[in-house]
Chain A
Amino acid sequence: MPPSAGRRATGSADTEASLIARAQAGDVSAFERLSSGYADRLFMLLLRLLGDRGEAEDVAQEVMLRAWQGIARFRGQSSYFTWLYRIAVNEANRVLAKRARRPASVSIGARELQLPAAAVHDPSRQAESSELRRSLAEALARLPPELRTAIVLRDVEGLSTQEAAEIAGTGQAAFKSRLHQARLRVRAAIGDETLTDIGG
Chain B
Amino acid sequence: MGMPGSTDDHRWSQQHLSHYVEGDLRPRARRRLDRHARNCAECGRGIRAMRALVYAVQGLDGLAGVRAPATIFDRVRLAGSGGSPSSQHT
* Residue among B49, B61, B63, B79 making CB contact with A196, cutoff 8 Å: B49
Chain B residue at minimal CB-CB distance from A35: B73
Q: A43-B66, A196-B48 are in contact. Are A64 and B54 (CB under 8 A)?
A: no
With a cutoff of 8 Å between Cβ atoms, the chain A residues found around residue B48 in the complex are 192, 195-196, 199
For chain B residues 2-54, which have a beta carbon within 8 Å of chain A? 18-19, 22, 24, 45-46, 48-54
Chain A residue at minimal CB-CB distance from B66: A44
Chain A residue at minimal CB-CB distance from B45: A192
In angstroms, Cα B64 to Cα A158, docked, is: 13
With a cutoff of 8 Å between Cβ atoms, the chain B residues found around residue A112 in the complex are 63
For chain A residues 147-179, which have a beta carbon within 8 Å of chain B? 151, 155-156, 158, 161, 176, 179
With a cutoff of 8 Å between Cβ atoms, the chain A residues found around residue B77 in the complex are 28
Determine if A186 and B60 form an interchain contact, defined as CB atoms under 8 angstroms apart.
no
Determine if B88 and A156 form an interchain contact, defined as CB atoms under 8 angstroms apart.
no
Chain A residue at minimal CB-CB distance from B15: A180
Instruction: Encode contact with A along B51-87: 1 for CB under 8 Å, 0 otherwise.
Output: 1111111111111101111011111110111011111
With a cutoff of 8 Å between Cβ atoms, the chain B residues found around residue A1 in the complex are 61, 64
Instruction: Encode contact with B along A22-59: 1 for CB under 8 Å, 0 otherwise.
Output: 01111010011001100110111001100000000100
A interface, size bucket: 35 or more
Determine if A40 and B68 form an interchain contact, defined as CB atoms under 8 angstroms apart.
yes
Determine if A136 and B60 form an interchain contact, defined as CB atoms under 8 angstroms apart.
yes
Interface flag for A187 (CB, 8 Å): yes
Interface size for B (C-beta < 8 A) is: 45
Chain B interface, DSSP helix/strand/loop, else mixed: helix
With a cutoff of 8 Å between Cβ atoms, the chain A residues found around residue B81 in the complex are 28
* Residue among A25, A133, A155, A158 making CB contact with B62, cutoff 8 Å: A133
Q: A44-B66, A183-B54 are in contact. Are A61 and B75 (CB under 8 A)?
A: yes
Among A42, A48, A132, A183, residue most surrounded by chain B Cβ atoms (within 10 Å):
A183
Determine if B66 and A155 form an interchain contact, defined as CB atoms under 8 angstroms apart.
no
Determine if B86 and A39 form an interchain contact, defined as CB atoms under 8 angstroms apart.
no
Expressed in whole angstroms, the minimum distance between the Cβ of A32 and any Cβ of chain B is: 5
* Residue among A31, A57, A61, A115 making CB contact with B80, cutoff 8 Å: A31
Instruction: Encode contact with B along A51-80: 1 for CB under 8 Å, 0 otherwise.
Output: 000000100111011101111100000000
**Residues on B facing A (Cβ under 8 Å):** 18-19, 22, 24, 45-46, 48-64, 66-69, 71-77, 79-81, 83-90
Instruction: Give me 27 A-to-B residue pairs in the complex whose CB atoms sit less than 8 angstroms apart, sorted by A's number.
Output: A1-B61, A1-B64, A26-B87, A28-B76, A28-B81, A31-B80, A35-B73, A36-B73, A43-B68, A43-B69, A47-B63, A60-B69, A61-B69, A61-B71, A62-B75, A64-B73, A65-B79, A68-B85, A69-B88, A70-B85, A118-B59, A156-B60, A158-B58, A176-B24, A180-B19, A187-B50, A195-B49
